[in-house]
Amino acid sequence: MHTLYSLALRFCCPFRQLRRSSPPPQPLIPPSVPASGASTPWCVCGMEKEREDEETEGRERPEPLTDVERGIIQDTWARVYESCEDVGVTILIRFFVNFPSAKQYFSQFQDMEDPEEMEKSPQLRKHARRVMNAINTVVENLHDPEKVSSVLGLVGKAHALKYKVEPMYFKILSGVILEILAEDFGECFTSEVQTSWTKLMAALYWYITGAYTEVGWLKLSSSAV
């Protein structure tokens, strides 16, 4: 599990040389952004400051996106979203192949081992569209932090209360998304673009885990993941 944790943390590091490993993956969901012109990091609404300080201790707050970075993300996403389903399927396949323990949360995919079988699965393709549409909603509303917070709050609470998904998998999925985008759209993923998307993924994880905290999710030891 220490290995899984280390892999998960790598997405927070500066965007590195990415290489194509195994194929695409599946579940969790998107990121979020700050109020226009905001100079301070986003925070989770409805939480008492004392509890927030206690629960987020050891977690680095995400750096706010600038207006320029929001524009960069929306421009590059427009290209990605043209192939919405295919990109989503690629992401999910790699997620499940590289991190098979994530399949425990998806009864439809638990027994799938072959990437080609996953690619042809109607259920996986449907979930891929759901993930990509959720990201699209966030990207389209980067100018509206309340909307972004609301969308990601619902995602976080559903995965915590209904699906019981360990939140670390959101960080892992974020890293997989960055890898696929850099590999498949490398010609437009300059260092500036990569930095903007990395910040967006960090915001995603912050909002999602904030929702987990708000519903009283009990932290699990690494051995429980």
Long-range contacts of 142-147, Cβ-Cβ distance < 8 Å, separation of 24 or more: 142/33, 142/65, 142/70, 142/73, 142/74, 143/36, 143/70, 145/32, 145/33, 145/34, 145/35, 145/38, 145/42
Structural tokens at position 58:
């050891």
**pLDDT for the residue 52:** 43
- Residue 126 neighbours by CB distance under 10 Å: 12
**pLDDT for the residue 63:** 86
Q: How confident is the model at residue 128 (pLDDT cuts 50, 70, 90)?
A: very high
202 and 63 Cβ atoms separated by less than 8 Å: yes
- Of 4-8, 96-100, 106-110, 121-125, the one with minimum mean pLDDT is 4-8
- pLDDT of 187-215, one tens digit each? 999 999 999 999 999 999 999 999 999 99
**pLDDT for the residue 59:** 57
- Of 41-45, 131-135, 216-220, the one with minimum mean pLDDT is 41-45
Residue with tokens 């290995």: 3
